[in-house]
Amino acid sequence: SADLRYNYALLAERFGDYLFAIDEYERVLEIDPRHARTLNNLGRIYLRAQEPRKALEHLDRCVAIDPQLAEAHLNRALALLALDRPAEAASALRRALERLPEGDPDRAAAQRLLAEIEEHKP
């Protein structure tokens, strides 16, 4: 099932077996092409692998399917920054901040990153 494969992929990712995780996430998408968390996690792995274009592909699909997934907006911002697209990254961070609750550590990180981007505007 998609959920079982997803859990295998999560475990593999946590243990650093990214190739196995990618394979399992791809199998999840074969079963359920709209599995937003899988798309987000693939985006995160591709960011770690310094493949921001591939990451952004998955993250764009993810936010189209589940625009409420704050982590996807954060990851999307990181991919956009890696592609030297700071204005779009700032927009993605704002979307993430709209969805992150007060006190969430990701919220503080997103606020710092957004402040950095805005500080360096031309």
Beta-carbon contacts of 68 under 8 Å, excluding residues fewer than 6 positions away, are 99
Residue 67's pLDDT is 97
Q: Compute φ and ψ for 51, nearest 5 degrees.
A: -120, 70
pLDDT score recorded for residue 119: 92
Tens of pLDDT along the chain (122 residues) come to 899 999 999 999 999 999 999 999 999 999 999 999 999 999 999 999 999 999 999 999 999 999 999 999 999 999 999 999 999 999 999 999 999 999 999 999 999 999 999 998 76
Number of H helices, E strands in the chain: 7, 0
pLDDT at 121: 76
Handedness of CA 28, 34, 37, 41 (dihedral sign): positive
